[in-house]
Chains A and B, each alone.
Chain A
Amino acid sequence: MGQRERTLVSPVGGVFRGRAVVMDAEDVRRATWRIAHEILEHNRGAGHLVLVGLQTGGVWIASALAEVVRAVSGTDVPVGALDVAFYRDDIGLRPVLPVAATEIPVDLGGAVVVLCDDVLFTGRTVRAALNALSDLGRPAVVQLAVMVDRGHRELPIRPDYVGKNLPTRRLEMVDVSPEGVVLGDMVSPGDMVSPGDMVAPGGLVASADRAGLEGEAP
């Protein structure tokens, strides 16, 4: 598992080659439990709570948090998904196409919205998400939960709930999934050891856009 490679259908191209496992599946599960408890503690329960995952890497995190919230508080909280492609500030600088659907099941007016994402990096995706949210309704509060905060912020944005603070170099890549968190690099397909090292693209195609973003050169 330490040497994972995955094909990314990324606009920037290349293949992710993992170098170090930072969290394993059990660590991710424990972090999810802790964050869910923190959300309930901070907001004094699950009233008006809506968990919104950012497409695509944040969607499974929102669902996982909702499961724990249900187990702990007995409340079924609504889970939504948000694609921020049309709100990005780099339209025209690089190819930007929506990767998946936006689906918000409830009216956000007065809601306590927790945005969920896998990796917090420059903060530009979250900025786009905040603008998108304001077009969808007027939440009472918006909070941010991320599995990994890797630093290098370019905007005044901070997370409310963090799975792990992970110091990184700017050009490194972070891959987050329910199976764990891996730190690595993007390599061009020509530099791959052998095609057999690649994991089939199915699982990661959707996170390509995001991965390209989080590791993109400044």
Chain B
Amino acid sequence: MTPRHLLSVSDLGLDGIDEVLRLADTFVEVGRRPIPRVPALRGKTVASVFFEDSTRTRLSFETAAKRLSADVMTFTSSSSSLNKGESLRDTVLTLEAMGVDAFVVRHSCAGVPAQVAGWLESAGGPGAGGPGGQAGSAASVLNAGDGAHEHPTQALLDCFTISRERERRFGHSPARPAVLSGLRIAIVGDIRHSRVARSNVIAFSTLGASVTLVAPPTLLPPSLAGWPVEVSHDMDAVVAKSDVVYLLRLQSERMNEQFLPSLREYTATFGLTAERARLLGPSALVMHPGPVRRGVEIAAEVADSPSSVITTQVANGVAVRMAVLYLLLGSGAQVGA
């Protein structure tokens, strides 16, 4: 059956990720047309429900929905009835009562998108008695980042960027569906607070890459049991042998205790400085999910160098989110783990 929601990148499995990436190829082509819009989701309503600040993810999702001809409802917690004391559940059910087909949810607490999905499935409303005659709303929930848990569409666009950029730049066209087979990918920085790292560890290893985490011990999660990763604290050695160096932002807003002696010491030990970038192999890619703190985790000249695909990541985000929205709302395709 079609997955109703995208809460974790593991909801898709290898074949599901492959389907998203292939569909994203066709949406990249749509994006190049004089009128970059198709009528595929005409009549569907997508609500972007963000309880936490975001620029690129929110705009990227909304652009994706509009390019599929869906209607877009925008909710911001700061200007909502949450300030009047309405509960999160009532807010969601109010939106659902207006007829929403997909909720794109971001929240600072892990698990909120899953909780929203649960409320919708047991709710009444216009979508009640949906497919299969079961009670509850038929709306889908897409996780746009929940706490330090997951950010599945970021991982999907990162996989898409790595595979398609390597193909475009160096002519590597890998065997599908495990398109990252044999690649060595380093994820560097604030792993502990990063939902991007969690989703990417799952996605990269599902697609066949071997993942190395590089971070000071204070910025690693308390336990890595069950994570398919290696851990290193030697940035120079890892940079020299990696096909992809994926830098994370230091999430100072989530750091409620002293994790680092100083930012300058972090940059010297784990930042991708200009000197360290000379160790990169000729076909290595440098990535960052944004927002970039130039001079902290990455030097400005490295972020703007030819190895950097940071702006390509953003550009691919729209096509990949179109693919996810179309897969969940329009295609009726059978994907999933």
Contacts and interface: CB of A to CB of B under 8 A. Distances in A.
Interface of A: 83, 85-87, 91-98, 101-103, 131-132, 135-137
Nearest to A107: B34
Q: Specify the main secondary structure of chain B where it touches its partner.
A: loop
Most B Cβ at <10 Å: residue of A83, A86, A137: A86
A136 B32 CA distance: 10
Interface stretch (B23-31, B79-87, B194-202): B23-31
Contacts of B30: 86, 102
B3 to A, nearest CB: 14
Chain B interface extent, by class? 20 to 34
Contacts, number: 51
A14 to B, nearest CB: 17
Interface stretch (B163-171, B236-244, B307-315, B327-335): B327-335
Interface in B285-337: 326, 330-334
22 contacts: A86-B30, A86-B38, A86-B39, A86-B40, A86-B68, A87-B39, A91-B40, A91-B331, A91-B332, A93-B332, A95-B333, A95-B334, A97-B23, A97-B331, A98-B23, A98-B26, A101-B29, A135-B33, A135-B34, A135-B35, A136-B34, A137-B34
Contact of A136 (B19, B33, B68, B332): B33
A132 B33 CA distance: 11
B37 interface: yes
A97 B333 contact: yes
A85 B33 CA distance: 16
A83 B26 contact: yes
A92 B330 contact: yes
Nearest to A138: B34
Given A92-B332, A94-B332, A135 B38 contact: yes
Contacts of A95: 331-334
Which 10 residue pairs of A and B lie closest in terms of their CB atoms, listed nearest first? A86-B38, A86-B40, A95-B332, A135-B35, A98-B26, A91-B330, A95-B333, A97-B331, A97-B333, A102-B29
Interface hub of B29, B68, B331 (most chain A Cβ within 10 A): B331
Contacts of B38: 86-87, 132, 135
Contacts of B37: 135
Interface string B41-56: 1000000000000000
B67 to A, nearest CB: 10
B70 to A, nearest CB: 12
Contacts of A97: 19, 23, 331, 333
A206 to B, nearest CB: 14
B316 to A, nearest CB: 17
A19 B152 CA distance: 49
